[in-house]
Structure 1
């Protein structure tokens, strides 16, 4: 562990080799990776705003960092967290000492966790709304600083410095070409920052549009910096993207390493290791693949891994009726006469009257993508507030609200996993410059009023093969995960039906007994719900053991 004094009264400790990176900006010390913005929008922030300095700082810099501000005696006075949420920021007082951490290993939980308790109501909220796990902690005791927020420690007052809906409401009017150029510039800026951070790079190449966009941008900048272009292919045709990877590799001049996705049986050990941090391990649910790639990164000497995750939500996938409702809010009755009415209806294989009917409904909400979790009882605790970014956004259109929901979900991708234990995992499409551009663009423009991710397809068309730019299909792992869960029911059933969540009254044993059968899985699916519930069960068991007295 490396110890760096920030003052006589404050120290920074970082596990692992090397001195922790820190940047001094005025009275703030930013710990982590900090990059300059090319064209910061600081003029839009009024000088009389009480948090004007901090808001301008977050507009001028982006990266993966937390901020520390000291008082005149060198004591910790305030904390902030960058809007991407890539580094967690937890704090708690213990006597005269205030501790701040990005993770809480078991030894620290046992020594510093006196008085900490698992909060059953928040656990229940996480089961019904997994997105909430990137907000407040499920433990009473420590507190988490939310992305884009600042907390003053003497009074615990939280100030919001950045919110996605602020960007959505301040969108400038741009032509489609101008919007595409901004999107290109934002991703180029992010990739340049990643390359400046040094280290040996690996890049995921899934074969899909989003990872292809990121890989093509890396390849046109400094392709030799990437030691490993890695693809994992599944055992059936729908999960094997190698033809698309080969097409991309030939076009951008790289050599991809294609490996079969790790296979095996779901085991008790695998479930036990689903939680690696203070939040449920939703980023590590594919434990076989996670562990396999971590081993490959270590063998190749990889420091940083670049992914294409986040593109579905930021670029808008799917382009459904919600996009047309957003368009109607923007254009009024003129939307009914627009070509978008016909094109989006054709894309969704629905009639234009269906889209018009949705747009005319006062509070249209798209149907849920997934059915309710079949394992859960109705709520037994009072309603817990949703993630702050999901509050106060009812004035936005349904597709824009779903985009913000995707960003909240994206914060969970930064969570602990086997891969993050051995390398920095970076998601450029969830980095602040890219998300700010996408949030500020209307969803009809991101889809060009005709199909999913249409603006991104246009923006990066000169970097990609035409076949990938115009592709309608996507790789599909549903069958793979379905077999994994079905073959592991002998482990999953007692894990969930006789576990801690069931003892807390949160799982309905009778409904679970039906849902956790091969017949139900074949007819109703629910794989994501089942593994999410299994991960939260793992988290509860682990933290009951880790906390003092456990």
Structure 2
């Protein structure tokens, strides 16, 4: 999110890096920020990032003395209830603790660490933390194993030894590992008897939220694929008076060419559209360009990442908007769980309809859909899929660790599936380097929208056998029919297979002689078998191998050995 800051308790003999300033103190902690960072310390409380008042959606740049009193006395609950946006709050409580709050869902990633000398730091940027005297160069094999075994699940334990990420919505004391009870939880917003939602109510909620975000930036570039999610973003920006444009990228493969849809949307909302060809895939083994506290960067897509950023800079944008998370927010569910919700809350007739909807959505038949729901009722599946393939059992665990899962029994099966799927989007909010170079905003994941959609009956999202049906109905009058009725997606899987083949020999030695192998994480025999000359791995295994390469390059880069194994 380009918010490069650090909050430090304890002495430091290092000079503040060039380009950074000491913004002030919060209790006994010093706040270091990059120049021009949106950060304000008032009444002993630091607000960093972009915050809005809940009732008016007006901009909040600092807290008044009365607001700080309410923040402190409620241990952060006031801010979670009365503010929203992408922000961090730091304050001292009456006991002298330094409390940290990360705004729900889209708050900037904040990492906490305490060394043996009693110094503690909360930071958003790994390079900054290191320049202030914290080594932070030891990848943790057990935590890396969990990241690979439970793909895309971003829990509190970062993959650097001793580092904890403050998860979205959490409130925690610096130096502690246990969140306060006032932390945000999705289960506080699921309703035991959900009421049907009028599509117009969803439209109003989304439109107002995107409009509030739109007012924070002078020039905006929207990444427009022509899918329903980014198209809804375009519809919400249509009335914007300040400059904005859309940019779409196409692959040479027809599966990845979404330009006809993007053109139709741009014409409908009346905005310029830049059409770029997606550049060739990158080197999946290239060292990281930006050091990160957690794996990210997606080496194969590096050239596309840089092209999106180049486009934004050429347009002189001061923010990039995306439809990230739209699939999850608008309920793209292929689970049988909504059938059980419908039965529980609306009766057998509605459950029968929900089964028919799932059958059409999955290209199956109703009896199999009902069978899946019965099976789920008798033997609920794991909250998160586990993938043991290509890994040893040295650090294996069968169940993931995430605070949302500990309290999931507070919700019905469909509500559980909906809420847990929201976590899939988290690694992509800051996973691309362009998100660290320029504000990259995902308005669809904003707290007011999420709290609203958590109350939608889970079976209403797929009514009529159409994914994201409620969102399509909500914006039907705002978008071209070809986009509203479009069910498929543009795919870039065609990039992955040639990339694997082009780098097959290098990838083999990179992984089998690398950091992950040396740490005892990889099943070397199974990984090696995939690289045999007579083997053509299936796309799932190719994607998994390439994800391992991303983690390998991260581990080598942060440990200071980009070209050699440990």
Tell me the TM-score range normalised by the shorter chain: 0.7 to 0.9
What does residue range 18-417 of structure 1 map to in structure 2 within 5 Å? 18=36, 20-22=38-40, 24=42, 28-38=45-55, 52=74, 54-71=76-93, 77-93=98-114, 95=117, 97-105=119-127, 108-109=129-130, 112-114=133-135, 117-153=138-174, 157-160=178-181, 161-168=183-190, 170=191, 173-177=194-198, 180-219=199-238, 221-222=239-240, 224-226=242-244, 228-264=245-281, 266=283, 268-269=285-286, 272-273=287-288, 276-281=291-296, 286-336=301-351, 338-361=352-375, 362-365=377-380, 372=387, 374-378=389-393, 380-381=395-396, 385-394=400-409, 396-417=411-432
Cα distance 1:243–1:373, how it changes in 2: closer, same or farther (>3 A)?
farther
Q: After TM superposition, give the deviation of residue 368 of structure 1 in Å.
A: 11
Counterpart contact for 2:290–2:433, Cα < 8 Å: no
Q: After TM superposition, give the deviation of residue 340 of structure 1 in Å.
A: 2.9
CA distance in 1, matches of 2:77, 2:232: 30
CA distance in 1, matches of 2:561, 2:87: 27
Counterpart contact for 1:205–1:229, Cα < 8 Å: yes
Cα distance 1:133–1:345, how it changes in 2: closer, same or farther (>3 A)?
closer
CA distance in 2, matches of 1:526, 1:370: 16
Higher helix share: 1
Q: After TM superposition, give the deviation of residue 30 of structure 1 in Å.
A: 2.2
CA distance in 2, matches of 1:493, 1:7: 50
Q: After TM superposition, give the deviation of residue 392 of structure 1 in Å.
A: 3.0
CA distance in 1, matches of 2:118, 2:397: 34
Q: After TM superposition, give the deviation of residue 199 of structure 1 in Å.
A: 3.5
Residue range with higher mean Cα deviation, 506-515 or 312-321:
312-321
Q: After TM superposition, give the deviation of residue 474 of structure 1 in Å.
A: 1.5
CA distance in 2, matches of 1:414, 1:84: 10
Q: After TM superposition, give the deviation of residue 481 of structure 1 in Å.
A: 2.1
Aligned to 1:448: 463
Q: After TM superposition, give the deviation of residue 67 of structure 1 in Å.
A: 1.1
Counterpart contact for 2:328–2:418, Cα < 8 Å: yes
Residue range with higher mean Cα deviation, 437-446 or 402-411:
402-411
Query: For residues 81-132 of structure 1, what are the alpha-carbon distances to aligned partners after superposition, in whole Å with 9 as ceiling and x for unaligned?
Result: 1112431122334546532211211x63265335874322111111101333
CA distance in 2, matches of 1:484, 1:294: 22
CA distance in 2, matches of 1:373, 1:524: 17
Query: For residues 7-65 of structure 1, what are the alpha-carbon distances to aligned partners after superposition, in whole Å with 9 as ceiling and x for unaligned?
Result: 685432222x42533375x874322111112379xxxxxxx999846223212111111
Q: After TM superposition, give the deviation of residue 429 of structure 1 in Å.
A: 1.3
Cα distance 1:490–1:181, how it changes in 2: closer, same or farther (>3 A)?
same
Cα distance 1:98–1:470, how it changes in 2: closer, same or farther (>3 A)?
same
Cα distance 1:197–1:32, how it changes in 2: closer, same or farther (>3 A)?
same
Counterpart contact for 1:234–1:477, Cα < 8 Å: yes
Q: After TM superposition, give the deviation of residue 211 of structure 1 in Å.
A: 0.5
Q: After TM superposition, give the deviation of residue 517 of structure 1 in Å.
A: 5.6
Cα distance 1:341–1:142, how it changes in 2: closer, same or farther (>3 A)?
closer
CA distance in 2, matches of 1:108, 1:452: 43
Counterpart contact for 1:366–1:398, Cα < 8 Å: no
Match of 2:489 among 474, 477, 488: 474
Give aligned pairs, total.
529
Residue range with higher mean Cα deviation, 425-434 or 409-418:
409-418
CA distance in 1, matches of 2:175, 2:111: 15
Q: After TM superposition, give the deviation of residue 510 of structure 1 in Å.
A: 1.4
CA distance in 2, matches of 1:8, 1:266: 46
Cα distance 1:193–1:283, how it changes in 2: closer, same or farther (>3 A)?
farther
Counterpart contact for 2:461–2:469, Cα < 8 Å: yes
What does residue range 463-502 of structure 1 map to in structure 2 within 5 Å? 463-502=478-517
**Alignment pair present for 1:434 and 2:456:** no
CA distance in 2, matches of 1:384, 1:320: 20
Cα distance 1:96–1:352, how it changes in 2: closer, same or farther (>3 A)?
closer
CA distance in 2, matches of 1:333, 1:379: 47
Counterpart contact for 1:137–1:143, Cα < 8 Å: yes
CA distance in 1, matches of 2:342, 2:78: 32
Partner secondary structure for residue 541 of structure 1: helix
Q: After TM superposition, give the deviation of residue 538 of structure 1 in Å.
A: 1.5
Q: After TM superposition, give the deviation of residue 312 of structure 1 in Å.
A: 0.9
Residue range with higher mean Cα deviation, 258-267 or 382-391:
382-391
Q: After TM superposition, give the deviation of residue 198 of structure 1 in Å.
A: 2.3
Counterpart contact for 1:204–1:306, Cα < 8 Å: yes
Cα distance 1:23–1:174, how it changes in 2: closer, same or farther (>3 A)?
farther
Counterpart contact for 1:116–1:141, Cα < 8 Å: no
Q: After TM superposition, give the deviation of residue 459 of structure 1 in Å.
A: 0.9
Aligned to 1:45: none
CA distance in 1, matches of 2:506, 2:344: 49
Aligned to 1:421: 436
